[in-house]
Amino acid sequence: MFEDPGLNSLAVTLLTIVAVLGGILGTCTYLILLERKLSAWMQDRVGPNRVGPFGVLQPIADGIKFLLKEDIIPGHVDKTLFVIAPTISVFTTMLAFAVIPFGPVDQAPEWLRFIVAPNVDLGLVFIFAVTSLAVYGIILGGWASNNKYSALGSLRASAQVVSYEIPLGMSIIGIALLHGTMNLEKMVADQAAGGLLGWNFWYQPLAGLIFFTAALAESNRLPFDLAECEQELVGGFHTEYSSMKFALFFIGEYTHVITTSFLVAVLFFGGWHFPYIAEASSAYAGAWAVKLLVLAAKVVLTIVFIMLLRWTIPRFRYDQLMGLAWKVLIPLSLANIVLVMCVLQFGWSRWWLTAGSALLFVTAGVIGVNASRSEIVSRRRTAAIGSAHA
């Protein structure tokens, strides 16, 4: 491109940033259409089908509507924080994507890198540090709205994020121990070198389940969207928002979903690797494009699964939400870390991790069922005593 290596690197970096931002924003708009179509299909409705063939221009019409809508700022709000809050949510979720490889980094064409910031050895730590800041946008939006429903939604979000950050971070410690690094590029390369059986999901299924569950809670997706519970809080932290500021909150949420889906694919399902067509040794013409499509397919499948969950599982109660984090996910993630350390220390086969994960999952299920039965018996006994006194 340029003779000067420094100028060439700068140009490639800027082009990669533009490609990532354009891809994320374009994907977010059509993810909304996909979710509306999936929800209509699951509820036996038609869904958007008027704007363009099969409704494919609906996201463009919605974007124009948001841009042309009157930007209302209520008189009772803190105007500065009210405007800053949605920008924080978008900025932090997009910044986290800087260290996520979205293709085979070592086979990228000369004019594009498949990662914005390569060779970051603490990439996972950076992602968790940045995404945890997204809650400040929700807290500031709820507090600046000067609305009791918005304030309650922001307080719920802060407690939820603080709680689920712990199992989210602990769930990937086992993977970091197995690979000896927190660099996402190296993790993908190690899994690809091991073939299909090198994917982390085979050895860390429990960690994958914990990570996925905690990531759903982090992104405020159902069944963990207690921060915007319509039945109780009208709209939650964004009740007072309209126009583009309202849209920015949802762009931040969908960007978080995209980031989460990429992390699930990269950490547990081999990233761009797929047997026979996208191997570590694949060097045929266009191999980088095939690997890019493989990773994109894994990400899309994860996103569709997240959307199907939204229209399948009912919303948790808040005590159930907090109990799941502190009583279930955190103890399980601790036990998983101990299991990984034992396997590595004594040099056992990694398939012991699979058996141990299954055993921990079954044990947690048995304990949970017994606890639920005890709670039900206790409630019935209390109700019977109350009826006798009455």
- Judge whether residue 164 has pLDDT over 80: yes
Closest C-alpha to 160, from 101, 225, 115, 107: 225
Q: Is 334 helix (H, G, I), strand (E, B) or coil?
A: helix
Element containing residue 190 per DSSP (H, E) = helix 184-193
Report the chain's mean pLDDT, rounded to a whole number: 87
User: What local confidence, expressed as pLDDT, does residue 281 receive?
Assistant: 83
Share of the chain above pLDDT 90, in %: 31
Measured CA to CA in angstroms, residue 99 lies from 1, 215, 259, 262, 292 at distances of 24, 17, 10, 11, 16
Q: Find the Cα–Cα–Cα–Cα dihedral 303, 308, 313, 319, rounded to 10°.
A: 20
Q: What is the pLDDT of residues 280-300, one digit of tens each?
A: 888 788 888 899 999 999 999
Average pLDDT over residues 246-255: 86
Q: How far apart are CA 147 and CA 152, in angstroms?
A: 9
Q: What angle do CA 164, 168, 171 make, to 5 degrees?
A: 140
Paired tokens of 315: 């919303």
Please state, for a pLDDT cut of 70, what percent of the chain lies above it.
95
Contact 249, 238 (CB under 8 A): yes
Q: Is residue 259 over pLDDT 80?
A: yes
pTM: 0.90
The residue among 147 and 235 whose pLDDT is bigger is 147
pLDDT given for residue 358 in this prediction: 94
**Distance set, CA 274 to CA 85, 102, 161, 278, 280 (Å):** 41, 15, 34, 5, 9
Q: What pLDDT shows up at residue 233? A: 61
Is residue 388 predicted with pLDDT exceeding 90? no
Helix (H) or strand (E) holding 253: helix 243-268
Quote the pLDDT of residue 249: 85
pLDDT at 232: 62
Whole-angstrom Cα distance, residue 44 to residue 190?
44
pLDDT score at 241? 85
Q: How confident is the model at residue 217 (pLDDT cuts 50, 70, 90)?
A: confident
Please give the Cα distance from 240 to 286 (Å, whole number). Answer: 49
Q: Which residue has the higher pLDDT, 106 or 1?
A: 106
Q: What is the mean pLDDT of residues 158-169?
A: 88
Q: Can you tell me the mean pLDDT for 90-100?
A: 89
Q: Which has more confidence, 37 or 155? A: 37
- Mapped onto helix, strand or coil, the DSSP state of residue 172 is coil
Q: Say if residue 382's pLDDT is above 80.
A: no
Tell me how far apart the alpha carbons of residues 208 and 221 are, in angstroms, rounded to a whole number: 17
Q: What is the DSSP string of 269-280?
A: S-TT-BTTTB-T
DSSP at 105: G
| Alpha carbon distance 31, 258 (integer Å) | 10
Q: Model confidence over 314-367: pLDDT tens digits?
A: 888 888 888 889 989 999 999 999 999 999 999 999 999 999 999 999 998 888
**pLDDT greater than 90 at residue 155:** no
Domain boundaries, the chain: 74-389
- How many C-beta atoms surround the C-beta of residue 200 within 10 A? 25
pLDDT tier, 304 (very low <50, low <70, confident <90, very high otherwise): very high
Write down the pLDDT at residue 3.
63
pLDDT digits (tens, 9 = 90+) for 173-212: 999 999 999 999 999 999 999 889 999 999 999 999 999 9
At residue 274 the predicted structure's pLDDT band, cuts being 50, 70 and 90, is very high
**Predicted local confidence at residue 349, as pLDDT:** 92
Average pLDDT on 92-112 reads 86
CB of 164 within 8 A of CB of 214? yes
Residue 150: per-residue pLDDT: 83
Q: What residues contact residue 63 under an 8 Å CB cut-off, 6+ apart?
A: 29, 247
47 close to 37: Cβ distance less than 8 angstroms: yes
